[in-house]
Structure 1
């Protein structure tokens, strides 16, 4: 093994790196998986409540779209486990990590949409104020976009700029490195 076969700043083989990344990915997806499954379970029950038949057509259609989004989110977040089962023992962990990362991103995106749509349905029903429901649901979706997509990119750019400046000035000290 040569030094730094794995991630920068680590002395790990490509196989060790793949194992580490896979374990980190599993820890991350467990949280999202559980939340998506619980939300999906609650959504399924809504159609069987007495109040459901009295909903306007828009809300019934919104409910159907929300349940479909919830099913897609749940499926995408569970898919890496099934994918792993099929590929175990074939020496394809780097490919698994790449595909699982895409599935998790899809799951997170559809989970955010599911939460926003469920919130819209709930607020339309609970408040009777469609404009407020749309505004609050949109704000929630913007919050997810800001914290799940924009903020990590900002942190990554700032860290990369700080590291580039440190290299330019010959500073090789640790600290402030990118998350791995």
Structure 2
């Protein structure tokens, strides 16, 4: 009599797995989309404020870079919705999920860059102090730990090599 290894994972077809992963991805994207859209909306109003003309040219360049990064982040994080709509019913969901996952990852990197530049600009205008780059660097390190460090640690610490 042979002893079977305990069963692990889910018993799902490729299409069922794609459906599940798509649902999970869309929930994740909703969180990021909301944040980037609110941030981008606020950024768009800055240029119409009287104080904008008083910003140094360096701060105006930081602002322009921030707005462009915000626009790119918004595009990448809304991209999975458009992708899904355009390929829906074409029997390419597993491939669409992979592509949407990559778009989401790029969108999160762009969101990180947008938030970094926003924080840099705000703190430069608010304090005019030399510690601003250090403070921004500390916050970026925090984002990196929360968004990438802990997930990567958990992935390697708690996942089975067979799950790859």
TM-score by length of 2: 0.91
1:11 maps to 2:4: no
Please list every run of 5 or more consecutive structure 2 residues that lacks an aligned counterpart in the other structure: 1-7
Counterparts of 1:126 and 1:88, CA distance in 2: 47
Aligned to 2:86: 86
Aligned to 2:3: none
Cα shift readout 1:90-120 (whole Å, capped 9, x = no counterpart): 0000110110001000100010110111000
Output the aligned Cα RMSD.
1.5
- Structure 1 stretches of 4+ moved >6 Å: none
Counterparts of 1:109 and 1:140, CA distance in 2: 15
1:28 maps to 2:28: yes
Residue 158 of structure 1, CA deviation: 1.1
Counterparts of 1:69 and 1:133, CA distance in 2: 20
Tell me the matched-pair count: 156
Counterparts of 1:85 and 1:128, CA distance in 2: 47
Residue 134 of structure 1, CA deviation: 1.1
Q: Secondary structure at the match of 2:126?
A: helix
Aligned to 2:5: none
Q: Which has the higher contact order (CA 8 A, sep 6+)?
A: 2
Cα shift readout 1:132-179 (whole Å, capped 9, x = no counterpart): 22111111111111111111111111113xx57xxxxxxxxxxxxx8x
Counterparts of 1:88 and 1:70, CA distance in 2: 28
Please list every run of 5 or more consecutive structure 1 residues that lacks an aligned counterpart in the other structure: 1-7, 165-177
Aligned to 1:63: 63
Q: Any residues of structure 2 matched to 1:128-167 within 5 Å, and which?
A: 128-129=128-129, 131-160=130-159
